[in-house]
Structure 1
């Protein structure tokens, strides 16, 4: 069937937005990991320290002071790890991320994976906001696919330049080539 689009082309990605997203994800990962480690360290800590806090500040003080210290320490260490390791990984991810239309297949390339999915396996396209708290800007297109019956998989297209137009373009190509 003749289509209005070239056989193979690349979807345009906003690299600055993608870099911001990948840096945020790296920082979140480091923070969660450090919170788990710090929480275990507090549970294994000395009972005398908790008893002295309890005697001085009461129950809430004994729980709140170590909790706040844990969060502050984990955040500071996460920022430090982000400066040492995370920036390089985020930049590498943002540079290597590609979304390609290759005939009747959609190809999403990251530094670790290379998904190639036929358009007939894509069930629907969904637009996601970055966060309901920060902005009304849509910046992710999520596609659900069928991979052998009831099993399904979601694929995210991050930081498309114009997500609404890109979603409509993918849906049109899906209708024509799928």
Structure 2
């Protein structure tokens, strides 16, 4: 659906890259390698998004890194749209519904880095998680968001890299 509004696949991939997780940063050549596209096509879209104020440039020595402009008036709106496009809102809602005592829901792997491979790796932590529910939930969520979902369940709190969608101790 979002593809019909944003007709440039490169622009959509850049928005996913920088707005799924506002901590993501990248430079032109890294994006070209990651997307498998020419630097010219990516440069054009980076310039457009930077001129619109949606992305910011950071110079570090001879490299220019790009990141989401978290102070842009539409930052939250764009982030919500991208997360809905990926189905993260539905995913979180379904997990929290009847999963048990959920401590955290963390996206790990490629999607946390803003790379939409079509697979979403989700780590759910907590005590006495409903494992039967997660088995039935997996196929229902995959159908709902049209992406493959890989769940990992753990009793231990997760403190490594990832995109935290929910954390009961922090209230996020």
Flag whether TM exceeds 0.5 (same fold): no
Question: Given the two structures, how large is their TM-score scaled by the length of structure 1?
Answer: 0.26
Q: Which has the larger radius of gyration?
A: 1
Question: Given the two structures, how large is their TM-score scaled by the length of structure 2?
Answer: 0.27
The structure whose RCO (Cα within 8 Å, separation 6+) is larger is: 1
